[in-house]
Structure 1
């Protein structure tokens, strides 16, 4: 087989995946970025603002937020970020320069996802089980059990999602370089076109 034929075959076999793989990687980066931004907004704005409220207002607003956020747009983005990153990691197996970054992003976002499911959501459910804040006997105790752990773990998942976003951005950069270099840049070492192996 000639080097030219081998290069063409390599490009064709990788090129079939390159378009869809690049699109999935972009979609994963956008989805993770949206979730990172949401958690960041809670960490930097929403929770500090609520901290100034009295206990009953705090409980009522957090209960409302937890109810409203359970909508198709958020759920699709939250789950989609995990699925898209996992698919991007699987598709990046043949890209030696970007695959490590995508797999690292999958681990980081996976941990944030796990924290949300095992810590933040159960805390939300406990808050919902309290009932009407206006008739709650001790709103201060309810808030005390909820606020500090929720805020602390939200900071952790914000850092993890931001890390995942940065890793995916790096993977996108390297993925683009792979494309510009002709996937793996084999034409140089293989000799001039037409030479046999």
Structure 2
């Protein structure tokens, strides 16, 4: 089977997809190992207030460009490398990136919205904290494995000359 090269600029797209995926994984990891454990030490009112503030300020062009860019760039790279030995790793990375997007959209964002609308901090925290932390760990793992897949795609691409 003849390997088709990804084309001009394909390496840059794959590199950007890998970097964006790493940044997204890093955001979720930071929550796992620092933000949420620190907030767990807070009383209910402080916990809810800080999470509301975080959920508000994270909605900015820089975060959105990285968060959406990770999936979009990975999709473009997967398409560019669809006929190469790197394709399996690309499509695995893409599937994991889509899974992160779906978990965020279907679970974490609705939990954030419910927290924003809640009036009683104790009840809000009780409904929010456990599920949000659990699903954030899922996002962190999915993103990290996706990053590993894209790093493997870069390695395969480099070794095969694609």
Q: Same fold (TM over 0.5)?
A: yes
List alignment gaps of at least 5 residues for structure 1: 1-9, 131-135, 184-197
Match of 2:132 in 1: 150
The higher radius of gyration belongs to: 1
Q: CA deviation at 1:18?
A: 3.3
Q: Which 4+ stretches in 1 moved above 3 angstroms?
A: none
Note the C-alpha offset of 1:65: 0.2
| 2:42 equivalent to 1:53 | yes
CA offsets 1:81-121 (integer angstroms, 9 cap, x no match): 000000011011121x2100000010111101100011000
How many angstroms apart in 1 are the aligned matches of 2:51 and 2:134? 15
Aligned counterpart in structure 2 of residue 90 of structure 1, from 63, 79, 88: 79
Secondary structure of the residue that 1:19 maps to in structure 2?
coil
Aligned partner of 2:18 in structure 1 is 29
Aligned: 1:167 with 2:156: no
Equivalent residues in 2 for 1:62-77 (5 A)? 62-77=51-66
User: What TM-score does the superposition give when structure 1 sets the normalisation length?
Assistant: 0.79
SS of the residue 1:18 aligns to: coil
**1:57-77 deviation digits (Å, cap 9, x = unpaired):** 000000000000000000111
Q: Distance in 2 between matches of 1:32 and 1:167?
A: 10
Number of aligned positions between the proteins? 161
Select which of 27, 31, 35 maps to 1:42.
Answer: 31
Q: CA deviation at 1:177?
A: 1.0
What is the 5 A alignment of 1:119-130? 119-130=107-118
Inter-partner Cα distance in structure 2 for 1:19 and 1:149: 44
The answer to whether residue 91 in structure 2 is matched with residue 109 in structure 1 is no
Q: Note the aligned Cα RMSD (angstroms).
A: 1.5
SS of equivalent to 1:70: coil
The TM-score normalised by the length of structure 2 is 0.95
